[in-house]
Chain A
Amino acid sequence: MDGPGLREPMLDAKSEVTNQLIDFQWKLGMAVSSNSCRSLKYPYITVVLKVADHSGQVKNKSFEMTIPQFQNFYRQFKEIAAVIETV
């Protein structure tokens, strides 16, 4: 079905299928102490994803990764970026 001239690509979010990634924020932290362990040396990455659903409503999702988990996460995104270039 051909629509009138499209001004911008209509991604899946507007098709009510998935959410659209609006923003990606990250923070590198180092836990030095907690109630369960006074002496910690725990580096971690906190990520906040801002996603919009089909109605335009924005939701935040935050989560935490250890350094090895983050390296895996990063590697997967590099792979996605490489593939999307070839399509």
Chain B
Amino acid sequence: AGEAKGSKALSGLLNSLAQDAFHGHRGVTEELLWSQLYPEAWPEEFCPFLEKMRGILKSIASADMDFNQLEGFLTAQTKKQGWITSDQAAVISKFWKSHKTKIQESLMNQSHWEDGLQNLSWRVDGKSQSRHSAQTHTPVAIIELEFGKRG
């Protein structure tokens, strides 16, 4: 029962870390995570633990690990004494497998720097006339492009 609770807390923690690191949702503070997920932990235990998990998640995402690489990486992490437990490794593995695609999408989005194309509207004019020019018979396509960040 204690393990299930620990797994659930770690899942929640990883989710918040991902929201912050990849999806740009910077709402949740360390204090909030601590009080909500690990209320029985000492602050001097929680903060290093949080950083450890953040580091592991960032390493996995940065290397865009496939499942073989992930297993190898997590096994190595559990072998380092007192670093992560095999239960924690299982939670991390499950998290990456279910969130990998979404995180990859967010990372690609972060690498999209120029304006994106938000919208394209068009119109074809058969005849045109204006104050300065006589009537023309050349069809003209007028295109309106709307640009924005993260298009």
Hey, which bits of chain A sit against chain B, CB under 8 A? 1-3, 6, 9-12, 14-18, 21, 31, 34, 36-42, 44, 46, 49, 61-66, 69, 72-73, 76, 79-80, 83-84, 87
Contacts and interface: CB of A to CB of B under 8 A. Distances in A.
Q: Which 8 A-B residue pairs are closest in the complex by CB-CB distance?
A: A15-B130, A10-B133, A64-B114, A87-B139, A39-B64, A37-B107, A9-B138, A3-B134
- State the majority secondary structure of interface residues on A: mixed
A64 B124 contact: no
A15 B132 contact: yes
B110 A34 contact: yes
Contact of A38 (B62, B108, B120, B138): B62
A38 B107 CA distance: 10
A63 B147 CA distance: 8
Given A76-B122, A80-B124, 6 more contacts: A9-B138, A15-B131, A37-B64, A64-B112, A65-B117, A80-B143
Interface in B105-133: 107-108, 110-117, 120, 122, 124, 126, 128, 130-133
B27 to A, nearest CB: 19
Interface in B40-80: 61-64
Indicate the size class of the contact surface on chain B.
20 to 34
B142 A12 contact: yes
Contacts of A11: 128, 136, 138, 140
B107 A17 contact: no
